[in-house]
Chain A
Amino acid sequence: MFLFRVAFTSLAADPSVVNLGQGFPDIPPPSYVKEALAKAVSVDRMNQYTRGFGHPPLVKALSQVYGHVYGRPIDPFKEVLVTVGGYGSLFSTMQGLVEEGDEVIIIEPFFDCYVPMVRMAGAKPVFIPLRLKSGKKSITSADWYLDPDELSSKFTSKTKAIIINTPNNPIGKILTRDELQMIADLCIKHDTLCFSDEVYEWLIYRGQQHVKIATLPGMWERTITIGSAGKTFSVTGWKLGWSIGPQHLIRHLQTVMQNTLYTCPTPLQEAVAQGLMLNMELIGQPECYFTSLAEELEGKRDRMAAIVQEAGMTPVIPEGGYFMLVDVSALNMKTDDDDDEAYDYKFVKWMIKKKKLAAIPVTAFVSDQSTKDFEKYIRLWVGNTYRKKIISHIFSL
């Protein structure tokens, strides 16, 4: 995926190319969050070092918001770590809890950094793909499932942890309570940890429910749950995230933090704290950003799906998250590119060159053994539809 990003970023950086690939919004963040940041910078103390494991107002706000969501008290100083994005939480978790000789189960398709991080920690990634229900013309992300026997077979005595991502990037699948229970049962049976990447936790579309695996019985004590200010408030460029879990796990992440970058930027943490407290008051109301963003994106999701269908392709309607898979096989596009390359890579290159439209090939999110199952899909970011005229035009293939 990194090779992809390096190779394609320059192609897609051409200003005449409409980039539907990147995972960041081009909608502005809520104004109160920007105002809070500007205000923080005007306070002297906010421009200097804060507490290493998390700015006190922020960890307290996280403890309140998530205490409410989890239905349990969360100690802001011992059970929360603030990191540089969800990415930084993943890194601190791997470095703190995973080492040589360990195996880590990764569900495909996966956010691409999981594999290099597992490898950097000296461990071995073990893959299990989400599978498409047979006989179904794929329509929604719910049509992908984890085979219980297959999953069970991946757990060995070396398994240290399983990484789950719900809502999932790139498919948009939200793991159901039953699916999470199945994973939890295996974690408990085999005495493993669970790293739950929930950065898209608020981007849940109508009729869906996000369940935190850490709230299932026996799971709090073995789960690290990762969240992201960037995805929560549409400020990916702030690079703030957090890990929440029991003290006996979080303290190892804190050790990593104090030996890697020590502390995160203060004014950004202050502004996020204020954004969280403001929305905490609004939970249940239409202005609450935790729900209003999802509503806004859902409309865009549906419009994007319609455009894609008009262009003769098949969208996979996501239950949550930023992205939508698109099945491009109906176009039957032939390229004379390198035959060894996966179809989706060839398709995306062609689309950038000929149609000035950039997307991400989904096989960038899977291991080699699963390439054949995913190479007919590309990943789009759902929110870009204010440029839908351009997109329709470009998509008229």
Chain B
Amino acid sequence: MGILNHLAAQLALIRKISIRNHQTTMSRRIHARRTEGVDKNVWVEFTQLAAEYKAVNLGQGFPDFSPPQFITEAFCKAVSGGPPMHQYTRAFGHPALVQSLAKFFSRIVGHDIDPFEDILVTVGAYQALFCAFQALIDEGDEVIIVEPFFDCYQPMVVMAGGKAVYVPLRPKEGTAVLSSGDWVLSAEELASKITPHTKAIVINTPNNPLGKVYKREELQMIADLCIKHDLLCFSDEVYEWLTYDGAKHVKIASLPGMWERTVTIGSGGKTFSATGWKVGWAMGSGHILKYMKTIHQNSIYHCATAAQEAVAQGFEREHELFGTPQSYFQQLPAMLHHRREKLASSLKGVGLQPIMPEGGYFMITDISSIAVDFKDSDTKDENYDFRFVKWLIKEKGLATIPVSAFYSPEHSKEFDKYIRFCFVKENSTLDAAEEILKKWSQNESSH
């Protein structure tokens, strides 16, 4: 009997273990369907490649020089502030920050911005975009996106259940296309894209990657359509302080009838050359912002306190110095103006034709005049510019970004002969890029 009991106990134990080990991986679909079709990401792919090949990096948009001293000092001061600087602050935005943003932007927008109702602070402008799409776009809504566009707009529309409808900026007919100002939006083409399902239009000015700074008349044309068809406008203005050659940044929210239907998005990272701080914001009428706050409180809830305090101090300083030569908002575009010229001349020096950007971080250049034998059968099915950029990283050690990544699937093949350079870099980086281009050009001409 003892042996039988012993065996029974052993069998029970074995059965228990086998139940525990039985299903160690799930047999059904694990992921949520909203993650389908949005899993590829150009930045993840190319940032990794640039790092792997230790390329001279003119790809991803971040400065390789330091942020201005006054802003890093403000951060350090916040860090050594009392315990509250290291604990949760107000979820929709640190009071000091929303107040300084409201004060600063009210006079620019021409509207009394309520710091607590009309502003939401987010983890970078990226999260502000996410909140806008999640809060305001529903299944079946159409969103008009002007191409070329910062690539995240499209997956964000998809994730919100919406449908992206594209309208491209096109180079003006009959003129040499030398500047981003030569790329225009056709009013008829834009109007033709609007349907009863259209909920919003997304614009980005200054534009990434092209560098176009929309003129007042162009924004007025868009505004007229928004008002006529009762649309929302998401205006991504992260590069708002970076305009060159006298181009003026105009806020569409400042046009008549637009404050009540526009979400304007800004970035502390781009404003103060500290992209790694990830402090951004959305500004707009409280009756729209309140829905974005709901998304925010159910996804992130709070943003880091000390970084917000530092950006607040930055805006306080800029408020005092606005319009004067000491203002960082004067000094940064002046410095970048020269970097822009430097890169353009390096590209022209090797026979490439850059499109001079009126604003922003980037310059695109047409590469169709260069013949390259890729030899890489792995990338055979990819767009030409993707193959070119990968080849340029691997063979020449220069990192850029393919411009068709900023186009819809429908139009990407039309625009696959451009690559994008970031010129917001130290002179030494731009010199290194110039070296590579010169050597490459010399190799070519010696064949």
Contacts and interface: CB of A to CB of B under 8 A. Distances in A.
Whether A associates with B in a native complex is yes
A252 B32 contact: yes
Interface stretch (A81-89, A144-152, A329-337, A349-357): A81-89
Contact of B86 (A88, A217, A238): A238
Interface string A245-260: 0001101100110111
A191 interface: yes
Interface in A71-124: 84-85, 87-88, 91, 95-99, 113, 116-117, 120-121
A213 B58 CA distance: 45
B300 A263 contact: no
A34 B79 contact: yes
Residue among B276, B299, B301 with the most chain A CB within 10 A? Answer: B276
A239 interface: yes
A261 B32 contact: no
A188 B17 CA distance: 12
Interface stretch (B33-41, B189-197, B248-256): B33-41
A237 B72 contact: no
A28 interface: yes
Contact of A47 (B87, B152, B274): B274
A45 B64 CA distance: 7
Interface in A46-71: 46-52
Given A99-B34, A221-B24, A264-B123, A34 B302 contact: no
Interface in B251-309: 273-278, 297-307
A97 B87 CA distance: 30
A320 B440 CA distance: 64
Contact of A261 (B23, B24, B39, B278): B278
A52 B44 contact: yes
B297 A255 contact: no
Contact of B274 (A48, A98, A221): A48
A239 B302 contact: yes
A29 B87 CA distance: 9
A204 to B, nearest CB: 22
B127 interface: yes
Interface string B61-81: 011111100001001100110
Contacts of B76: 38, 41-42
Given A48-B62, A52-B44, A237-B87, A191 B23 contact: yes
B72 A259 contact: no
Interface size class of A (residues with CB under 8 A): 35 or more
B86 A237 contact: yes
Nearest to A249: B30
A339 interface: no
Contact of A87 (B23, B85, B301): B301
B83 interface: yes
B86 A85 contact: no
A256 B87 contact: no
A24 B305 CA distance: 13
Interface in B294-326: 297-307
A8 interface: no
B65 A44 contact: yes
A193 B302 CA distance: 27
A267 B19 contact: no
Interface in A11-32: 22, 24-29
Contact of B299 (A44, A99, A221, A260): A260
B380 interface: no
A221 B26 CA distance: 8
Contact of A237 (B34, B300, B306): B306
B21 to A, nearest CB: 6
Contacts of A239: 300, 302-304
A321 B329 CA distance: 46
Contact of B278 (A34, A38, A265): A265
Residue among B19, B31, B82 with the most chain A CB within 10 A? Answer: B31
A264 B275 contact: no
Contacts of A51: 47
B244 interface: no
Contacts of A24: 87-88
A169 B80 CA distance: 30
A236 interface: yes
B72 A41 contact: yes
Nearest to B16: A185
A241 to B, nearest CB: 11
Residue among A44, A88, A188 with the most chain B CB within 10 A? Answer: A44
B44 A258 contact: yes
Interface string B115-144: 000000011101100100000000000000
A265 B24 contact: no
B394 to A, nearest CB: 20
Contacts of B82: 28
Contact of B64 (A29, A48, A237): A48
A265 B79 contact: no
Residue among A38, A87, A117, A239 with the most chain B CB within 10 A? Answer: A239
Given A24-B88, A237-B86, A265 B277 contact: yes
Contact of B276 (A27, A47, A237): A47
A95 B20 contact: no
A237 B85 contact: yes
A376 interface: no
Interface in B202-251: none
Given A25-B87, A264-B123, A91 B30 contact: no
A360 to B, nearest CB: 14
Contacts of A96: 31-32, 35
B353 interface: no
6 contacts: A45-B64, A47-B72, A52-B47, A91-B300, A117-B298, A261-B123
Given A99-B32, A189-B19, A261-B130, 6 more contacts: A218-B21, A248-B25, A255-B39, A259-B152, A260-B299, A264-B278
Interface of A: 2, 22, 24-29, 34, 37-38, 41-42, 44-52, 84-85, 87-88, 91, 95-99, 113, 116-117, 120-121, 184-185, 188-189, 191, 193, 217-218, 221-222, 234-240, 248-249, 251-252, 255-256, 258-268
